[in-house]
């Protein structure tokens, strides 16, 4: 078995969470100076009855004004089967609404599509047995030590028994427990993963082409891209139902001025910083087309070490040179 007889520390501490000093023991609600609900107010402790009464009031208000479509549930990826069943019954049988979605649809559903398109099967490539064989472990945005303790114990065992041979690299948006074992920690800015990937790809394509298995690439690899002007474009930005802030958001969905980072990433298509990108393909979001390796190489060109360092360095106290190295 994967755990090899070890018990996960998460299970050990599950009951102890109930007695944590910083655990919330009473509801907090945003209230005004008179103690009444105010979404712009400050959090104050209230009784359970007051909290549930206010939730009931707000749900009834939305249901009356907007009907079943005015209510929705965004569920947890950690639902038990029983909790998920109850939530579906509440929404579909109770409120007569289909507005229920789990985190899984935004997380694993997209991963499934990616795995099938890339590998032809719904599972990640690789094997847990490789942990005991590898000499390099790279964790990227995973905080494996805290999120996957059983597998991390195997990584730790591999590292501690071969300290000179095995290297651990932790790419993360913040220093965490995984960093404690890592030989190299790279703290990057959130949402700049793709820029770093593009730098790595650029380094291989431009400087180490001899490392590329061209036979494999030609037989099994398809380079593709998609339209960049998909936006949303499904709503009228001048509709009277929108507030001023909502109207600005909707306008950005149909037309936007490109930032510096966006200008760089779209340079291969002829765009630059400050250009206005009109969302002309709102109804063709799934459209994509095959491109050549030369087109792919051209798109990688802007992702130099200097540029990616500028956009991705996450620790303001770290020097640029140290981050590069």
pLDDT tens string 9-46: 888 888 888 888 888 889 999 999 999 999 999 999 99
Has residue 283 got a pLDDT over 80?
no
- pLDDT of res. 233: 66
- pLDDT of res. 159: 98
What integer is the mean pLDDT of 45-49? 96
- pLDDT of res. 15: 83
For residues 1 and 148, the answer to whether their CB atoms sit within 8 Å is no
Computed over its alpha carbons, how large is the radius of gyration of the chain?
25
Confidence class of residue 285 from pLDDT cuts 50, 70 and 90? low
Assigned token pair, 33: 């100076």
Work out the number of other CB atoms within 10 angstroms of the CB of residue 181. 17
- Tallying the residues shown for the chain, one arrives at 325
- pLDDT of res. 25: 87
Structure-model confidence comparison of residues 309 and 251, the more confident one? 309
Beta strands in the chain, from DSSP E residues, in sequence order:
28-31, 42-45, 73-75, 100-102, 136-140, 167-172, 184-187, 224-226, 255-257, 276-278, 288-290
Has residue 219 got a pLDDT over 80?
yes
- pLDDT of res. 86: 95
Question: Would you state the CATH architecture of domain 128-187?
Answer: 3-Layer(aba) Sandwich (3.40)
- pLDDT of res. 122: 83
| pLDDT, the chain, mean | 89
What is the side-by-side order of every strand in the sheet holding 136-140? 136-140, 167-172, 184-187
- Degrees to nearest 5, angle at CA 246 with 245 and 249: 95
**Where are the CATH 3.40.228.10 domain residues in the chain?**
128-187
Question: Alpha carbon of 64 to those of 52, 54, 59, 67, 93: distances in Å?
Answer: 18, 15, 9, 6, 17
């Amino acid at each position: 078995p994967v755990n090899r007889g070890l018990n996960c520390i998460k299970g050990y501490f599950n009951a102890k969470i109930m007695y944590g000093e910083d655990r919330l023991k009473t509801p907090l609600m945003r209230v005004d100076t008179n103690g009444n609900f105010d979404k712009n107010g400050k959090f104050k402790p209230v009784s359970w009855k007051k909290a549930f009464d206010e939730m009931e009031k707000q749900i009834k208000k939305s249901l009356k004004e907007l009907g079943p479509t005015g209510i929705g549930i965004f569920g947890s990826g950690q639902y038990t089967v029983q909790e998920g069943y109850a939530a579906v019954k509440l929404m579909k049988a109770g409120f007569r609404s289909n507005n229920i979605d789990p985190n899984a649809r935004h997380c694993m559903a997209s991963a499934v599509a990616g795995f099938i398109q890339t590998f032809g099967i719904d599972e990640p490539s690789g094997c847990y047995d490789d942990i005991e064989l590898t000499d390099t472990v790279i964790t990227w945005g995973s905080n494996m030590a805290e999120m996957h303790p059983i597998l991390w114990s195997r990584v730790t065992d591999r590292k501690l028994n071969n300290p000179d041979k095995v290297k651990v690299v932790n790419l993360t948006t913040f220093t965490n427990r995984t960093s404690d074992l890592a030989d190299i920690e790279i703290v990057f800015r959130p949402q700049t993963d793709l820029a770093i990937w593009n730098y790595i790809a650029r380094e291989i394509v431009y400087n180490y082409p001899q490392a590329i298995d061209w036979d494999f690439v030609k037989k099994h690899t398809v380079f593709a891209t998609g339209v960049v002007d998909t936006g949303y474009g499904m709503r009228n930005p001048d509709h009277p139902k929108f507030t001023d802030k909502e109207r600005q958001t909707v306008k950005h969905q149909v037309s936007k001025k490109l930032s510096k980072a966006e200008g760089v990433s779209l340079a291969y298509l002829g765009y630059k910083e400050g250009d206005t990108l009109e969302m002309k393909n709102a109804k063709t979001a799934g459209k994509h087309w095959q491109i050549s390796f030369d087109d792919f190489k051209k798109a990688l060109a802007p992702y130099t070490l200097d540029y990616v360092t500028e956009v991705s360095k996450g620790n303001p106290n770290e020097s640029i040179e140290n981050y590069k190295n």
